[in-house]
Chain A
Amino acid sequence: MREEVIPLSNFRVGVKAETWQEAVQAAGQVLLDCGSITQQYIDEMIQAVYDLGPYMVLMPGFALAHAEPSPAVLKDDMSLILLDKPVEFHSENDPVTIVLCVACVNRDSHREALIRVAAALMEDDIYDRLASAQTVEEAYTILHED
């Protein structure tokens, strides 16, 4: 994956969160701070977990935070955060260390980039190394390597 799919500035490591709500807020905050979403979208992501259960914890240690494309998404964007300490989402795949936040303006707009990220994250080797990355540069490099 040579082409950049998540900019370096959208990675965080050592993020502090006590609860799954704080973890989703923290992942969304990255996109809020760079003007890609409004707080409304973060609230929608949290509400989605209340409504649909913790299905976003797709695999051990990993949560995909997202909500439906909505006016609260100003531009397609993704962030990836590594939590300082894992949190519980009340899922079989708990506890969660990595949260990927995806915001898209419509259902197809961010597909290609998300496919690339998804394929990387579902490789055991890449996932394991990413989960133990110590710096944002390290996390960025692992996600974008071939």
Chain B
Amino acid sequence: MGDDLRIQAVCGFGCGSSLFLRIKIDKVLKENGLTARTFCGDVGTAASTPCDVIFCSEEIAERLESRATVPVVRIKNFRDEAEVKEKVLEFYSTLKD
């Protein structure tokens, strides 16, 4: 956990919308006193990139879920901090089990 936890934000090319999502995840982590290593990935290589969880949009999730070996968390509205917070905290709660 902590700094060792790797959160991959994924989009089509790994340099556009995933960056938006990463910024929001970083903000939520900071506001909740959580730490993790966040980075961006593209849909083509994300499933084989080592990480502990993937965050992405609905459309990207549909392409990734069959290939990913880590949980894939779907975010509908990147601007909705409540949605991102809820889903980030929900993922963290699964780690304590």
User: Residues of A with Cβ closer than 8 Å to B?
Assistant: 48, 51-56, 58-60, 62, 64, 66-69, 92-93, 102, 104, 107-108, 110-111, 114-115, 118-119, 121-122, 124, 127
Contacts and interface: CB of A to CB of B under 8 A. Distances in A.
A91 B21 CA distance: 17
Contact of B15 (A55, A59, A111): A111
B36 to A, nearest CB: 18
27 contacts: A48-B12, A52-B12, A52-B59, A52-B63, A54-B59, A55-B12, A55-B60, A56-B12, A56-B16, A56-B17, A58-B20, A59-B78, A59-B79, A59-B80, A64-B17, A66-B13, A66-B15, A68-B12, A93-B76, A93-B77, A107-B15, A114-B19, A119-B23, A122-B20, A122-B23, A122-B24, A122-B78
A93 to B, nearest CB: 6
Chain B interface residue bracket vs A: 20 to 34
B77 A64 contact: no
Nearest to B24: A122
Contacts of A111: 15, 19
Contacts of A118: 19-20, 23
A53 B21 CA distance: 17
B29 interface: no
A69 B15 contact: yes
B58 interface: yes
Nearest to B14: A107
A91 to B, nearest CB: 8
B43 interface: yes
Interface of B: 11-17, 19-21, 23-24, 43, 56-60, 62-63, 76-80
Contacts of A66: 13, 15-16
B13, B20, B21, most chain A CB atoms within 10 A: B20
Contacts of B23: 115, 118-119, 122
Contacts of B79: 58-60, 62, 121-122, 124, 127
A39 B92 CA distance: 44
A58 B15 contact: no
A45 to B, nearest CB: 10
A107 B78 CA distance: 21
Given A115-B19, A122-B78, A67 B60 contact: no
